[in-house]
Each structure stands twice: as C-alpha cells, then as structure tokens.
Amino acid sequence: MRISFNGGTAYLEQEIYLPQFLEQKKINPEKVVIEYNGEIAPETSWPEIKLQDGDIIYALTFVGGG
Amino acid sequence: MSENENRTSPFRQGLLKHFSPEQLAKIESFTIGIAGAGGLGSNCALNLVRSGFKHFVICDFDLVESSNLNRQFYFQDQLGMAKVEALAVNLRRINPDLEIVALPVKIALGNAREIFAGCNVVVEAFDRAEAKRMLVEAFYSSGKFLVAASGLAGWGNADAIMTLQVHEYFYMVGDLVSEVTAGRPPCAPRVNIAAAKQADLILSLALKQQEVYSANYDI
C-alpha cells in the first residue's frame, strides 16, 4: 500500500490506523495538525481513520514560542 | 479640504498621506482576531494598528510579567496588568479611535470560533505548541483567514522566517523548527520579524495582494 506523506511517498506493509502511523513517524500527536485527503482531521477522528492506498496526508507540526 | 477630512484625526490624516481613501477603507473594513497577546500578538497588533486596522478582538488571560518585557509591547509600569488591557492602552496611544474587544479569557476548542465569530482574520499568536495546534484545528476549515506562526526562537538566520501558504485560507509564518528551549529563548528581533510578517500578510490580504504569498507548503 502506498500513501503520500508530507509530499513524499510512504509504503505500508499492513493495514494501519492514523495514530499508529504517527507513532511510527515519531510525531507528537499533541503538537500536530493532520490534513487527510484535503480535509482537516480533528484528533477525535484519528482512531477511526484506517489508511488506504492513495491517501494523501500532511502532518503540520508546531513548535513552541511566541 | 472637505468637511469629512476636517473631522479625521491626525493619525488618519497621516495614513492618507500613504494610502488612497479606497485602500484605507478596505483596511478599516477588516476585523482582526488576535489569539494571544504575547510576543507575537502584541507586536502583530502594533503593526496592524500602524497600518490602519481599527477593529480588533484580542484574547489572552495572562498578566504582564517582567520576563515579557524583552520582546512584548508592554512597559515596566504595566507589570501586573491584564495583557489585553495594557495592550488596548498602548495601541490607543497610536490611534485613539480603535475599537478593541479585549477579552481576558482562556481560548479553547470549545469557545474559539464563538470568540472570533465577527472576525475576517484570526492571528494565532500563542506560545505553546499545543495551543497553536488547537487554534489551527478550530479554524482550519472555518473559511476565515488564519495566520499562524511556528519557529521563531533564538537569534540569527532571520531570513529563514518565511511566510507559507498551507491552503487557501491558512498561512504560516516562521522557520518551522526553532523551538523555545532553555538555551534558545524567545528574543525581540526574531519574534518581531514573525509578528511583522503576520501583519504584512494581513495587510496584503486586505489590499488583495495575497498572490505575493503563493509559495507552496512542503515540509
């Protein structure tokens, strides 16, 4: 299965849900906004998102300071 | 000079030396929401007021502390004041005719859209990454212009602080990586650059020149 992640390509060997994918990518879920196939995916929806072939994901991670 | 021009304040007369009446009318028609009145929010507001914006909703529950004075638009005699109150005072010294809704409340996912319901643009000006993320999640699909910031700590390499268009209504300013840490504090120059770029983007949006910022977002 092949998905687009942050403009690049990621290959997944097995079915996986979004929270596990973020964990694999070592992304802190508290500091990231996820755009999933062109729409913002609120954190509450993540556990229901099973990644599919051709999905397009952008993970926008914030850093502190202001 | 027309009667209307006679009534206009010296500050507004000064703006009309730089903007056409049509341009200033566009700027004055905007209402700007500012989420957080710290280094980003206070300095972004300062730049927006000097650019002619008049209508603001500014939200922050903090008080002015000594550690703020290295970069935020407050003064030593304002220590202990609510930031939103002190900021309203300071901004009105630039333009006495501002309409500011100053809210000393905490913004959360549950109240963010309501607080800024009357705003055309929302400025994300928090310090904590978790709060930035919350606000972006709240407004990402709202149809309002959202101008966030991420990556402005420390000093040096200031040209890395960029304006990125993430999607049609969502822009982000910063180098995306420079996080505040023990050895990398938030300092006036980089914080001001980011805040000024947020303000410049909003001015460009108001004057319909947002195509200037057509860089694709790619991380």
Q: Is the residue at A51 inside a domain?
A: yes
The neighbouring-strand residues paired with A32 are A61
- 3-state SS, residue B80: coil
Q: Domain total for chain A?
A: 1
B219–chain A nearest CA distance, Å: 6
Q: Is the residue at A66 inside a domain?
A: no
Closest Cβ–Cβ partner in A6, A58, A66 for B186: A66
Phi, psi of B4 (to 5 degrees): -60, -45
Closest Cβ–Cβ partner in A6, A40, A62 for B132: A62
- Interface residue A25 vs chain B (CB under 8 A): no
Q: Is the residue at A12 inside a domain?
A: yes
Q: Which of B102, B88, B98, B89 is nearest to B52 (CA)?
A: B98
pLDDT at B141: 79
pLDDT at B209: 62
> Domain range holding A48?
2-61
Local confidence pLDDT in tens for the 219 residues of chain B: 555 555 789 999 999 999 999 999 999 999 999 999 999 999 999 999 999 999 999 999 999 999 999 999 999 999 999 999 999 999 999 999 999 999 999 999 999 999 999 999 999 999 999 999 999 999 987 889 999 999 999 999 999 999 999 888 999 999 999 999 999 999 999 999 999 999 999 999 999 864 444 343 333
pLDDT at B216: 39
Q: What is the pTM of this model?
A: 0.91
CATH of the domain at A45: 3.10.20.30
Domains of chain B: 20-213 (3.40.50.720)
Phi, psi of B32 (to 5 degrees): -110, 125
Contacts of A42 in chain B (CB under 8 A): 137
